[in-house]
């Protein structure tokens, strides 16, 4: 099992936002967003900041998927 952030990218598209927009709104680095793009581990504080900026729940930006 691994964490997927596809929901985050879909949410940004739905809100007509770019990655740099969420970096500015949430106060997270572009490096952190790059890690999310590769489904790598990031600190939970980063996920909380993104959720606060987007006014959503963590289940709206991430999900656990099979590794297959």
What are the boundaries of each domain within the chain? Answer: 2-65
- Helix-, strand-, coil-residue percentages of the chain, each rounded to 5: 55, 10, 35
Cβ neighbours for 20, distance < 8 A, ≥ 6 positions apart:
30
For the domain 2-65, what is the CATH code? 1.10.260.40
pLDDT at 49 over 80: yes
Helix (H) or strand (E) holding 30: helix 30-37
Q: For 13-37, how does the pLDDT look when each residue is reduced to its tens digit (9 = 90+)?
A: 999 999 999 999 999 999 999 999 9
Residues of the chain above pLDDT 90, percent: 93
């Amino acid at each position: 099992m691994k964490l997927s952030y596809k929901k985050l990218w879909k949410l940004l598209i739905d809100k007509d936002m770019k990655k740099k927009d969420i970096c500015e709104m949430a106060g997270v680095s572009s490096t952190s967003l790059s890690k999310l793009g590769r489904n790598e581990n990031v600190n939970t504080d980063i996920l909380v900041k993104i959720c606060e900026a987007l006014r959503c729940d963590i289940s709206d930006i991430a999900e656990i998927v099979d590794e297959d």
